[in-house]
Structure 1
Amino acid sequence: MATQGSGGNVIAAICNIFFPGLGQLVQGRIIAALIFAIVVFGGYALWFLVVPPVIGAVVHLWSIIDAARYTNYSGYERR
């Protein structure tokens, strides 16, 4: 991905709206994608309790914002 707010980040954020973690997967961040997906779907699966769905919703929103604000710091600068 290029920079924050680039077209790739916008696509990743839109992907996260429909499937939590998919945006991170599009960006190549597999571990982050798995963590977001497991926490969100785990929270939504426990819908009959009060706290887990709220935590799932907050993490879902966090995954969208994380994908939109991601900047790839690979340790070197392109010229």
Structure 2
Amino acid sequence: MAEQGSGGNVIAAICNIFFPGLGQLVQGRIIPALIFAIIVFGGYALWFLVIPAIIAGVAHLWAIIDAAKYTSYRSRYER
């Protein structure tokens, strides 16, 4: 991915709206994608306990923002 706010980051953020972790996967970040997906789906599965559902909602929002604001290590130092 290029810069923060690039078209790729916007697509990744939109992917995260529908499937948490997919945006990170689109960006090539496998470990964060798995972590976000497990936390969000696990929390949503335990919706009847209320607190895990709230944590999952926060993690879902965090995944969207993380995908939108991502800048790769390489692009930070190539300028």
Q: TM-score range by the shorter chain?
A: over 0.9
- The structural deviation recorded for 1:23 is 0.1
Q: CA RMSD in A?
A: 1.2
Q: Report how many residues are paired.
A: 78
List alignment gaps of at least 5 residues for structure 2: none
Alignment-derived partner of residue 37 in structure 1:
37
Give the Cα separation in 2 of the matches to 1:21 and 1:47. Answer: 19
Equivalent AA in structure 1 for residue 70 of structure 2: Y
More helix by share: 2
| 1:37-67 deviation per Cα after TM superposition (whole angstroms, max 9, x unaligned) | 0000000000110100000000000000000
Secondary structure of 2:4's counterpart equals coil
- The structural deviation recorded for 1:73 is 1.0
Alignment-derived partner of residue 50 in structure 2:
50
Alignment of 1:1-79 (within 5 A): 1-74=1-74, 76-77=77-78
Identical pairs, percent: 82
List alignment gaps of at least 5 residues for structure 1: none
Give the Cα separation in 2 of the matches to 1:27 and 1:50. Answer: 31
Give the Cα separation in 2 of the matches to 1:64 and 1:76. Answer: 24
Name the TM-score, length of structure 1 as normaliser: 0.95
Give the Cα separation in 1 of the matches to 2:12 and 2:3. Answer: 13
Of residues 66-75 and 42-51 in structure 1, the stretch that sits farther from structure 2 once superposed is 66-75
